[in-house]
Amino acid sequence: MSARVRLGRRHPEPPGRQDGRTGRDRRGARSSVLRLAALTGASALALSATLATPLNPTPQQAEAKEGKKVLTVAVAQSVDSLSPFLAIRLSSTGVNRLMYEYLTDYDPGDNHAIPGLATKWKPSADKLTWTYTIRSGATWSDGRRVTAKDAAWTFNKMMTDEAAATANGSFVANFREVTAPSPTELVIELKKPQATMAALDVPIVPEHVWSKVKDLGKFNNDKKFPVVGDGPYVLTDYKPDSYVRMEANKTFWRGAPRFDELVFKYYKDGDAAVAALRKGEVSFVSGLTPAQSASLGHQSDIKVNDAPGRRFYALAVNPGARTRNGTPMGDGDPSLRDPRVREALFRAVDRKALIDKVFQGHAVEGAGYIPPRFSTYFWKPSADQARGYDPARAARLLDEAGYKKNGAGKRLGKDGKPLDYRLLCHATDPNDKAAGQYLKEWWGKLGIGVTLDCLDNVSDPWLAGTYDLAFDGWSVNPDPDYVLSIHTCAALPATPKETASTDNFICDKQYDELYARQLAEYDPARRAGLVKRMESRLYDLGYMNVMAYPNAVEAYRTDQIAKIRTMPAKAGNIYGQDGYWSWWSAKPAASDGSSDGSGSTGVVIGVVAGVVVLAALGTVLALRRRATAGDRE
């Protein structure tokens, strides 16, 4: 459960997994994640610049007087965990990406692998041993040196501790041994070749801190601040259902961010987030509806970014949830195990109508599992294979499958009761609700009932398999291995009481065989061919109906942010990048209206009727400057 989605990543909650979905833009989860969800609720993000009086200054005003520059980002997705071993959702993995470096990063221009914590890497002739040179000048925020031992400890913990493998275990499943012969040398030995060795999306943590944690399945990384990290920002405060606060890491090896603080503030209601943007209470909002985008586009001090996204938007069908050994779980409708029923549901969905009426053109029609933004792996069915909109054929398929209509026009299941599917939807996602109404209409004409089950927390029923269909979506990484791995048999839970990295309980031997082959294939063209065959197989199985690839529609205040980097550089997104480039590169707008950023107070003090109040000077200034996205300078 659309993201890392993870939206991918990782990658069900609001856009971004969703849920890791997307990150559901979700990544995998275990029972420990369910326990964490109970502890954190719909935990989320950030503290904005707040109104205060000169006689009783708020912390925000105090920061402004000290010259601090604060960037506040409105988010719609709650945090599931701040532990890099457990974080599933896009909101959570994004925060961890700012806290901890990976071995390699993705180039913000074209997504190719570039040095991160590792300055270089090299495989042996047989591709079974990879040696990484660890950056010698990197330090943890507590002053300790970052070494290869930290990376070795991180990977070994994931290899030996089931809880530590919750979020990213698929990356180390093929590791035989990981050692650190010296502070700057990391050696990873593999069981068989693995094509993702320059794309290991695993946050490296400090051994001297994490080795003291007794139970990684229960540790949420949110009790002691500041949290020791080596990324561009350091986690300094967190309040569930409210905010995540981070401070610039002045010793970050790429250079400190220009904003002194970065705050993610959670808004359950999208209109409230947009109102906060208009008033200057937040600097940035993502996941805009077409109406919100259109209205903001007319405001002179707000820039709207509308770019091809890295997410897909899909319908997931419960295939008959089960454990790794085949033990049934959940209560999905048995009719959905019939491929003819799944194809009928496919053919009764008018994708073009959804693009036009729900997304209002801010998306492209869905097909394969990987969005067209990643052209190397993008796939779409041939004319013969495509399951286009064809309600008449859908009705015939249901008849052939034995699901006939009664006198009242209702399709009857094998038990003689009318088919009435439960469709999980995210209460905070307007697209789910709008698309759900169209599905009720289209499937209703087939004689199938639909009950929209819109929840703030879709994770619990999803992970328990207590659904029939669900809106799904993940943020896909430049290397697609993670979102492919969540549909393998190995991703299924070990027992009904546990959950794992599976997205939708899919287990297919042919798909698994293709997954293993692509993981071991180093030739880019041949690997891409195998990935496309996997997408074709998913399409034919009918458990995942990718309906659309939504655009990233977002906006920021140009009187607070003078410049910020999109990814990719041309027509890219800002929120939910494959890296930390946007927030690290963001350049504060100068208080005098210029764009050089020197002496800027960034997001400061407070807001009255959309006017920034400079309490320290007792002066009211209206900051109005439009800027474009771009590189960090």
Q: How far apart are CA 288 and CA 307, in angstroms?
A: 12
Q: Per the structure block, which two tokens stand in for 321?
A: 């949830």
Q: Name the β-bridge partners of 72.
A: 263
Q: What is the pLDDT of residue 410?
A: 97
Secondary structure of residue 376 in the 3-state scheme = coil
How many whole angstroms separate alpha carbon 223 and alpha carbon 233? 17
The band of 89, judged by pLDDT with boundaries at 50, 70 and 90, is confident
Contact 129, 42 (CB under 8 A): no
Checking if the pLDDT of 330 tops 50, the result is: yes
In the chain, the largest separation of any two C-alpha atoms, in whole Å, equals 77
**Please, which residues have CB within 8 angstroms of residue 25's CB and are 6 or more apart in sequence?**
2, 3, 4, 5, 6, 7, 8, 9, 10, 11, 15, 16, 17, 18, 19, 77, 89, 90, 311, 473, 474, 475, 576
- The predicted structure's pLDDT at residue 428: 84
| Domains by residue range for the chain, with CATH | 104-210 (3.90.76.10), 316-345+378-476+484-549 (3.10.105.10)
Beta carbons within 10 angstroms of residue 476's beta carbon = 34
Map tokens 């499937």 to a residue. 443
Q: Mean pLDDT throughout 429-437?
A: 95
The arithmetic mean of pLDDT across residues 63-90, rounded, is 87
For residues 276-288, give the mean pLDDT: 97
Please name every residue paired with 426 in a beta bridge, in sequence order, or none if there are none: 455
Count CA within 13 A, CB hemisphere, residue 411: 26
Helix (H) or strand (E) holding 430: helix 430-445
Residue 623 confidence (pLDDT) above 50: no
Q: Name every residue whose Cβ is closer than 8 Å to that of residue 107 and which is 6 or more positions away in sequence.
A: 113, 114
pLDDT, tens only, 20-40: 333 443 333 333 333 333 333
The yes-or-no verdict on residue 56 having pLDDT over 80 is no
Q: Which amino acid is at 399?
A: D
Q: What's the pLDDT at 499?
A: 67
pLDDT at 472: 96
pLDDT at 192: 97
What mean pLDDT comes out for the span 79-105? 95
Residues 6+ apart with CB under 8 A from 236: 225, 226, 227, 245, 246, 247
Q: Is the pLDDT of residue 415 over 80?
A: yes
pLDDT at residue 134 tops 60: yes
DSSP structure class, residue 475: B
